[in-house]
Structure 1
């Protein structure tokens, strides 16, 4: 049989990148109308309108008539679209964000592509095969991050999910662009593909970024000449037809396991610097995800208000629109990231409003302070954890003037240790549909305490006792040493921590901040030829001690070079002082050490990382990503620099979601993360885990890097990517041999701390009065949300570890039936009647299960 080249005409559409969204949309509307004309007239037999349905919404907002024409062509199968709502960077967003992305696509368009199309993402997580399988998709088209030696392979995830995968560059618009060279260009393409896969079939993706491609019908002579020269058949086709033939053509494919973050060949860049470019973008996205997934969705399961669910759908639509690789990755022009920031802030505003509305329904009025408290004030503590849990609480309350905090009572009326710092006068404004606008003036107090046994995905009420004499303030002293639970904590001159345990074992250099130059761009880290690394200088240390916690508060400064020399080969001689405040907290009830680092960045072109030494000579480290744990090697900071054009140096930075760990036994270290997705196991200068806190660069892309030997986009200056101004990051550290399941739980609780808010009036109940939420022991809750059908709820639990997990689920009192479902919420089994209010299952390593819970 004559091998065939399938020509699939398409466009790759970035909603925003080197132009803001509206600039691109004006072009998109023109392109959409042209596609409708060409497909409608037969000039184009078919067209792939990228892998994202959001283009339909974007066109419909200004040209509903064109959007209607497109939808008709999609329903006829002549235009294909999806399966995603947006083409997300699928490493930097959560697993549930990806699931909502696919669900949004199905809401937006009744007929979406069955091909897992994601060729331009900057690498792919190990869990993507299972996410695609969960929507009935058993194929993937990828490019960046795929092993370059394999044109086709079976990609398997940690749970055994598998997709037939094609490794193909999507940008081949130039092949048919010029009539005079098209025949030769097609022939060259076929011969190059023949070297990768001798017997075909081959896929020519006729299109590229934001281009109106040339229809194959206009190059019929060139295609005929190419067929004759290469001995192939060149046919206009669809992705579905190509994948069908490609699967039949190969019997024995290589298997590729885990994440796709392989170093590519020429012009196939992984672009790992996007993990840390514009860290403020990642931080806002993470806050919004946590709010929707862990607090709003569970709360709305019991809400019958259609307006609440419509607002939640709107919030997810906004958040998912921040997920494209040029948006969440921080590699667009400044105007784009001003808009993504506002989008995320809108999501936070919607989420907070929904939490308040559900609280009001439950009798917990969170709308401001109300009448200023004189004797007591209630604080509502809400958990995003899937199991009943203890956790730290920090919350501000406002009371009548001259009143101070004298104690705290738990939901059972028992005294609880509390730390209270008086912050002075406070002014508060509140208004609502049933509240006249009002401004109150009182006194503000900052409380810290440990809430115990807060119900899973539920709430508990703590009562603050007020008086006229402060009794709960921490003591403050000067000095660099504190003793907590037999451990001695000492601050070094460089603001790192030395810990000596009760046995006299000492570990130094914990949390050392190291700042080095970065002459790169938003895509790639690129150190100066003559780099200069600086560490902080301690100015002052204060020790705050209370019954709740001990805090080492460090004022320090970084003597940071202002930027780079004019030739960009070294850091400048001009130095600016970067103020730092580092808080290291040791809470009395736990072994975790918690860092908060606040800085005011005033320098350019540098990277600040937080290091923890790892004893011995470890060869690998691990981190969680989505629903599984991935193991990576310790590496040099940067691999061998490329000497040929169009190549990229290996960079050991990798994505992590809630924890990274390395070492064995007592020497094991585990870093708990919060919106800091870039981690590296570094071998230079002694083994350490390095977490990127800040990366400052001033260019979208440059063509003169040493770590990447050509541009990755246009050479635009992007001053706001220098990330000047205040930045605050949270990390935590656990030392010793935690059981794997305990580490996952600690990390999840660090990443999703309790919400705590003062209530307007006293709450009648003390703990969530009826178990309306599931309680999951032995695994992590990934989602608890209203079902897409509107009937019942969906509960999803995950075992991210490499051992079996015995899981017990106590179901809400309203649940009458359970049914196994896929990620897309379609049924996998018949409903089962609930008899004892419980599900008991064993989750295999890395297994995820979803149930529909019915009334």
Structure 2
């Protein structure tokens, strides 16, 4: 049998990092030059067939910022399929962006691409630092049946054996990639990277040497006669003489076919010639069959403040603004699709892997902070307007008996999970508008004299609610009416802190502040027993927390009877790596707070919450030693660095506050500190004493199960991992979940106690990778803070802990309103659901149909169902992540398969 003729598919492309070793606008100028050259090449070379625009529509958007008049030309080239468009808006880091952000990325990428021509249906992940396990399911729901990626699977070559039971090795560059739910796509691995066909020579002698090497390298891994040569690389200019280079190749190798190809043609040809059986890779692609040094997981802890801003921004958009705007739609307020689009796009401009990963030059992060601020302000404006519209329609007439003394307000829970929260809200007692001709000092005094900060708090049933109040005095404010000029005023405010009681999962409760009348005085206590039960002990019905002399914590879970010891110590280690990779100096022994001295005091003792403050001081090296600077400047590999930590020490003072709420199921922790040192890593340690070889981490639409011990090939002493909201270790008897806000890196230590080590800060001074790029601001000097929650459980009830972990970062929205009747009851649940093992993701509104779109996923390997009750009377139907309308109608419940992601539409 003759050997099939090899077909060499050359795909022209450029991998376009919007910002990285240069700021965005510097890269932007290079993009304009690259696109100009591409358009000129299309115009002058009829044999130049196609160019792949890196799978992201933002490249077109960025070009049209400068040349808006070229839109029609780009649309023509896209319709002719010379330029691809989509499927993504940006090439994101999958693990550092939320589940919903990954979905919005596909949704907006598809929508924007469709405005130019056919949407590219290539699941393109060329340089993601690991790939999410649910990618095949997400891609298939978007009508994409392939994934092209560069990391996470080790190609062995077809003559090599794949380890038995290993799903992270493949003999071929072609494989089957399967999600936990069983969804499968064809995987195309860049076994020779995405630059294996760049800068093809036209000189015959050079071309012969070039092609001999490239064809042999690609053939080593290909399972079919179709070889993939990627003609481009990072910010690679267009090879304008490619047609000539391919003519030279055809003359030199008449036995092969050279095609200036595209992904559609290449993938179709591969599909037609695949061998009967490919290896199957399941779940996350995280490079566990490598030496572990260059999986780049430590980008999860580079520039932690950026991750915290991202978490806050994402949460406000997907967990507060979108749900609230959807609820307001029910009461007649149009859904602000255009504003959401703008806010999401602005946020996602921070989501490319070199941006959100923290592995760029300092200028990039100054601009990212501005984008976060812009996107967040839009989200907050939508939240305010939606809450005001809803609150005006909530019935508060039950408080009319108190007359003008009553100040009603509505608290909204949009997390998707019911539960109690302690919240703070500034209640306006009285307001006085004033004109420019009036003296504002006199107006302020008038407001002060006619109000009192004394009063009481009641709920919608008229029952007293425990609270703490702070008189904020008279402050300036203003209205911006829709029909007239701005209206300044003076108003007096009281800040209330109180526990809401159990809130609906997607709904609200009404409260009212009743100002004191005559001699009546406020009382903030109902006589409920204190949560402080010892000198350094907090206790509620679920938990008992004791602070030890060194600042460590002992936690008893009364529900399971399990006790957790030595929780919450801090560890500081040296770091002579870079923004990509943590590298602890040889022989470095971490410094910990265990066994030290701590100053401990109760700082809050309210009926609804108690808080203990712990102050600890660590003496840590001021930086690495002097050798590191020389090693960085001369590009000594981090694996070969000999630098250690400085002998000079500085104090690191950590002020930790641990809080227990009356109805709380976990302990809330916050820490603040002024980082005085460089070249180090700070972590919080939580020994679990769980007996299990695996642990679980919140990831993209799944709670991923991961091995505690890495593969035999793993050489890196560190085995850090990504998490979204939480990490969890459990066995059949006990479990501990640690949930964070913008803390994306953890490690399960092999210390005999299955300690969960959560990274709070990593300080480094260089970018790393291919050159010398100093990043002094990545040392993160100065003030920092972090928040997380400790959730003990009994193992079998882990899903309840996961729901609390998801609820933890979602703030309540509180809006003051007037006394009025309304169409919405004072306690109302717009969306109620139940389901074993089910986690909630999002509620939003579809732009084309105005339907609610709600999304859940099954965190377990057993079938389940969602039982649904909503405020809408319309028909429900199962959709997909692109929110298509062509799926089966469902009634009050619908099945959710093992690890399945389900989107349900709710019609008006």
- TM-score strictly above 0.5: yes
Indicate the residue corresponding to 2:442 in structure 1.
none
Shift of 1:505: 6.7
Query: Does the Cα contact within 8 Å between 2:764 and 2:778 map onto a contact in 1?
Result: yes
1:841 maps to which of 894, 897, 901? 894
- Counterpart pick for 1:223 among 240, 249, 269: 249
Partner residue, 2:567: 510
Q: Give the Å deviation of 1:188.
A: 0.4
Residue 564 of structure 1 is matched in structure 2 by 624
Return the match for 1:40 from 38, 43, 50: 43
In the alignment, structure 2 segments of 5+ residues that lack a partner are 157-169, 395-402, 431-447, 629-642
Displacement of 1:62 after TM fit? 1.0
Unaligned runs of 5+ in 1: 367-372, 642-648, 702-711, 833-837
Q: Given the superposition, is the C-alpha separation of residues 26 and 799 from structure 1 closer, same or farther in structure 2, using an over 3 Å criterion?
A: same
What residue number does 1:185 align with? 210
> What is the CA–CA distance in structure 2 between the aligned matches of 1:687 and 1:388, rounded to whole Å?
31
* Contact kept in structure 1, 2:335 and 2:845, CA below 8 Å: no
2:13 maps to 10
1:85 corresponds in structure 2 to 89
Number of the residue aligned with 2:906: 853
For 1:491 and 1:577, locate their aligned partners in 2 and report how far apart those are by CA, in whole Å.
22
The structure-2 alpha-carbon separation of the partners of 1:854 and 1:627, relative to structure 1 and needing over 3 Å to count, comes to: same
State the match for 1:382 in structure 2.
412
Larger Rg, first or second structure (1 or 2): 2
SS of 1:181 mapped into structure 2: helix
Q: CA deviation at 1:309?
A: 2.1
Determine the C-alpha separation between the residues in 1 that align with 2:573 and 2:534.
31
Is 1:620–1:681's contact at 8 Å kept on the other side of the alignment?
no
On the 8 A contact 2:687/2:754 being kept in 1, the answer is yes
User: Hey, what's the Cα distance between the residues in 2 that align with 1:104 and 1:501?
Assistant: 45
Is the counterpart of residue 829 in structure 1 residue 878 in structure 2? Answer: no
CA contact (8 A) 2:506 2:829 kept: no
Q: Which of 144, 154, 164 is the matching residue for 1:147?
A: 154
Q: SS at 1:66's partner residue? A: helix
Describe the SS at the equivalent of 2:60.
helix
Query: What SS class does the counterpart of residue 760 from structure 2 fall into?
Result: strand
- The equivalences for 1:760-799 within 5 A come to 761-762=818-819, 764=821, 773-778=830-835, 779-799=838-858
Q: Is the contact between residue 263 and residue 650 of structure 1 (CA under 8 Å) also seen in structure 2?
A: no
- Equivalent position of 2:479 in the other structure: 431
1:343 aligns with 2:371: yes
The equivalences for 1:537-556 within 5 A come to 537-556=597-616
Tell me, in whole angstroms, the C-alpha distance in 1 between the residues paired with 2:735 and 2:386.
Answer: 43
Choose from 747, 764, 770 the match for 2:805. 747
In the TM superposition, what is the alpha-carbon distance from 1:678 to its structure 2 partner? 1.2
Contact 2:695/2:728 (CA < 8 Å) preserved in 1?
A: yes
User: Secondary structure of the residue that 2:302 maps to in structure 1?
Assistant: coil
CA distance in 2: counterparts of 1:312 and 1:846, whole angstroms: 29
Structure 1 residues 566 and 339: CA distance shift in structure 2, 3 A: same
Could you tell me how far 1:790 is from its partner in structure 2?
A: 3.8
Of the candidates 98, 104, 109, which is equivalent to residue 105 of structure 1?
A: 109
Q: Is the 8 A contact 1:482 1:543 kept in 2?
A: no
The offset of 1:533, in angstroms, is: 1.9
Segment drifting more, 425-434 vs 275-284: 425-434
SS at match of 2:892: strand
Q: Residues of 2 paired with 1:470 and 1:740: CA distance?
A: 41
Q: Is the 8 A contact 1:478 1:542 kept in 2?
A: no
Q: Does 1:581 align with 2:655?
A: yes
Structure 1 match to 2:437: none
Q: Decide whether aligned partners of structure 1 residues 792 and 17 sit closer, same or farther in structure 2, where only a CA change above 3 A counts.
A: same
Q: Aligned pair in 2 of structure 1 residues 500, 791: CA closer, same or farther (>3 Å)?
A: closer
Q: Which residue is 1:311 aligned to?
A: 339
Alignment partner of 1:657 is 2:714: no
Please identify, of 62-71 and 79-88, the stretch whose mean Cα deviation from structure 2 is larger. 62-71
- Matched-pair contact (CA < 8 Å) for 1:122–1:272: yes
Compare 461-470 and 36-45 and name the one that shifted more: 461-470
* 1:292 matched residue in structure 2: 317
CA displacement, residues 342-390 of structure 1 (integer Å, 9 cap, x when unaligned): 1111111111111221223234499xxxxxx994433331111335543
Cα offset for 1:137? 0.1
CA RMSD of aligned residues (A): 3.1
Contact kept, 8 Å, 1:700 with 1:713, in 2: the verdict is no
Query: Cα gap change, 1:232/1:263 in structure 2, threshold over 3 Å: closer, same or farther?
Result: farther
Conservation of the 8 A alpha-carbon contact between 1:125 and 1:258:
yes
Question: 1:471 corresponds to which residue?
Answer: 523
Distance in 2 (alpha carbons) for counterparts of 1:606 and 1:328: 20
| Cα distance in 1 between the residues matched to 2:292 and 2:9 | 23
**Matched residue of 1:30: which SS?**
helix
CA offsets per residue over residues 488-537 of structure 1, 9 Å max, x none?
53323442212356799753211111111111111111111232422345
Pair 1:713–1:444, CA change in 2 (3 A): farther
Equivalent pair of 1:147/1:260 in contact (CA under 8 Å):
no
Q: Which one is further off, 123-132 or 545-554?
A: 545-554
> TM-score scaled to structure 1, two decimals?
0.89
Alpha carbons of structure 1 residues 198 and 438: separation in structure 2 relative to 1, 3 Å: closer
Q: Report the counterpart of residue 587 of structure 2 in structure 1.
A: 530
Residues 199-254 of structure 1, C-alpha deviations (whole Å, 9 max, x = no match): 432100000111113243121354136525xx532221111111111112222111
Q: Secondary structure, in 3 states, of the residue corresponding to 1:579?
A: strand
Change (3 A) 1:315 1:804: same
User: What's the CA shift for 1:17?
Assistant: 1.1
* Count of residue pairs brought into register by the alignment: 821
